[in-house]
Amino acid sequence: MSTTWTAANNVALLNVDPQDTFCPNGALAVTDGDQIIPALNSLREHFNKVYWSQDFHPDNHISFASTHGAEPFSLKKVSYGDQVMWPEHAKQSASDGTGAQFHKDLVFKASDKIIQKGTNKDIDSYSAFLENDKKTPPRFDNGNSLADELRADGVDTLVITGLALDYCAGDTALDALSEKFNVIVVEDATRSITPEGRLAKIAQIVDAGGIVLTSAALQKNPQLICA
């Protein structure tokens, strides 16, 4: 594949939560999370359709350990199941390492679309398609869910990157497959919280019919995303 390749119009790039809060010095830092930023910027040059998800929590969010006086990374039973008690992160009201801002080195264009998730203080949201209750979709300002918007844009195939593969990026990929989108996860454009979680999520994605490959492999397989 030429370095000047362009993905077909039915293919979109979906970058999941590449935010400061998940990068080094962030409140919920993923090891080497910032190292995916050059890969995301390089990939986006080849796509006409680019989507982003953004973790975007209000204060006192249900997922914050501080909300419950709980130990970080402990589990708490909530209405939709077990909830990990995370450190405060991706806060709408902050601009430091606990804030929701995207990494400063990312390249955005006016045509890009951003879906914000985790905005309901009573439900956490790993996936960009469904909140953790597995029935409530995050929505754009126009009322569309991510699946609605993608279909309206003529997209049936997603190339997914982001943070973290064993949580938000991986759950987004699995829900995309459930929504009958074709899914390709670019492994070296993701990072994970644990190696064990990474391997388990990759296995789930492959078992569900997704493709997990490196950016180099994507370059060598133009039939996957090019017309």
Residues assigned a catalytic role: 17, 117, 168
Q: Please state the separation of Cα 61 from the chain's center in Å.
A: 19
Q: What is the DSSP-derived secondary structure letter of residue 164? A: -
CA-based torsion, 196, 202, 207, 213: positive or negative: negative
Alpha carbon distances (Å) from 27 to 30, 57, 86, 161, 180: 9, 13, 9, 21, 34
Helix, strand or coil, per DSSP, at residue 180: coil
Q: CA-CA distance, 164 to 174, in Å (whole number)?
A: 13
How large is the angle between the packed helices 168-178 and 195-207, nearest 10 degrees?
Answer: 10
